[in-house]
Chains A and B, each alone.
Chain A
Amino acid sequence: EVQLVESGGGLVQPGRSLRLSCAASGFTFDDYAMHWVRQAPGKGLEWVSGISWNSGSTGYADSVKGRFTISRDNAKNSLYLQMNSLRAEDTALYYCAKENGGNSFDYWGQGTLVTVSS
């Protein structure tokens, strides 16, 4: 059974940093690209960042480019998101998602909540 478990969310002040983690199990982690998708309270889905299976390629939404960094450790079956210079508009539930080898996300975690507020 595929499982994605996010952690690391919490309340943080504007301008500070936070690192999210996603622990993956139930599939061959280093075969697939992985992503972070967020959802602000009461809003729709926003893709944040993605990373290829071997970390050779990454992508970022314009809204986080230059502030967030995605990484992975295939030996630990883990995905990370380093978030710097956080803003109030980064407040959201952050989901870890597995790419299905194509162009969509076939498994999602339950999310970790990030709240940016003073």
Chain B
Amino acid sequence: EIVLTQSPATLSLSPGERATLSCRASQSVSSYLAWYQQKPGQAPRLLIYDASNRATGIPARFSGSGSGTDFTLTISSLEPEDFAVYYCQQRSNWSYTFGQGTKLEIK
């Protein structure tokens, strides 16, 4: 099973700042890496798929990069509604795994 490790576990930033979240895979996942945002009491929302493609309706301040084993989600300028938990996810054949999450909190 491919393990995804996200860092940091918690990120404390202020609105307007840039956020950089990391996801590292235990082996190559090519570009099959997605990012989700989850707010309390809500289902996850797809942000980025296939490492760098924004999902429908996702603002341009969200961007994804990387391939192989190292991936990054960048939020260029934080809005108040961006403070949430973020998960990465990979697919390898019929095995899907999520990272443990990064909590983005207001500083």
> What is A's interface to B at a CB cutoff of 8 Å?
35, 37, 44-47, 50, 57-59, 62, 95, 100, 102-106, 108-111
Contact = CB atoms under 8 A, between A and B. Distances in A.
Contacts, number: 63
Given A35-B96, A62-B1, A95-B43, A106 B87 contact: no
A37 B96 CA distance: 10
Please report whether the interface of chain A is mostly helix, strand, loop or mixed according to DSSP. Answer: strand
A107 to B, nearest CB: 8
Contact of B55 (A35, A62, A106): A106
A106 B96 contact: no
Contacts of A108: 43-45
Contact of A59 (B45, B87, B95, B101): B95
B49 A47 contact: no
